């Protein structure tokens, strides 16, 4: 069973299939916006939904390594970069939706808002940290940086995970609705805790 799954993961159609699945949320959001199915406040729905999907893809990216080790399927690693770039793409859409729908693309107003509201500052800090990771996610960058320095740089994703949960927590504070926050915090805490346990056990 594991051998068959490993062969399927190496199939030329596997990556296009994952691409299609990763694009489905965006297709739904575009369709929902075009057909007025995003509720009474479609702008807010787009901001929230793109942020939610960026957080979900962050969870998926951090799940790849534990799943690869536990299942003994090293071929899962070939999808990590793809998932990471989709995470960054949805984060870009989240930032763009906020800048466009909430702030009217007024750069000065956006800068003041980021400095004034802590939860936006934290979210923007996560975006800034992720940008060099996205820009160095290609083989040429790995060769240029060297494997050790590249790995050290990409460990910043752990800091991003903490910032993402804090951003989500502060965003939900106004509504006093923390159920989803605790779910994501538990998932990311477990994924980071597994890495810490594995490092200490060595």
Which pTM value belongs to this model? 0.92
Query: What are the pLDDT digits (tens) for 132-187?
Result: 999 998 888 888 888 888 888 899 999 999 999 999 998 888 777 788 899 999 99
Please report how many Cα atoms fall inside a 13 Å half-sphere around the Cα of residue 61, on the Cβ side.
Answer: 24
Domain assignments of the chain as residue spans, ordered by start: 2-201
User: How many whole angstroms separate alpha carbon 82 and alpha carbon 67?
Assistant: 16
User: How many whole angstroms separate alpha carbon 76 and alpha carbon 67?
Assistant: 8
Query: What are the pLDDT digits (tens) for 122-147?
Result: 999 999 999 999 999 888 888 888 88
């Amino acid at each position: 069973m594991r051998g068959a799954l490993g062969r399927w993961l190496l199939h030329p159609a596997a990556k296009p299939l994952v691409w299609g699945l990763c694009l489905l949320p965006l297709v739904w959001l575009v369709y929902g916006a075009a057909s007025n199915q995003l509720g009474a406040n479609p702008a807010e729905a787009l901001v929230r939904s793109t942020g939610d999907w960026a957080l979900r893809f962050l969870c998926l990216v951090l799940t790849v390594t534990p799943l690869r080790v536990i299942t003994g399927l090293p071929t899962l690693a070939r999808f990590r970069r793809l998932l990471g770039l989709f995470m960054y793409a949805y984060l870009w859409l989240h930032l763009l939706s906020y800048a466009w729908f909430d702030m009217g693309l007024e750069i000065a107003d956006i800068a003041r808002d980021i400095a004034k509201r802590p939860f936006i500052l934290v979210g923007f800090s996560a975006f800034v940290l992720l940008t060099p990771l996205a820009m160095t996610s290609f083989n040429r960058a790995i060769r240029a940086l060297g494997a050790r320095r590249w790995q050290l740089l990409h460990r910043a994703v752990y800091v991003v995970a903490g910032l993402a949960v804090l951003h989500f927590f502060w965003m939900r504070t106004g509504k006093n609705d923390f159920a989803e926050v605790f779910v994501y915090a538990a998932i990311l805490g477990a994924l980071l805790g597994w890495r810490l346990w594995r490092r200490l056990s060595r």
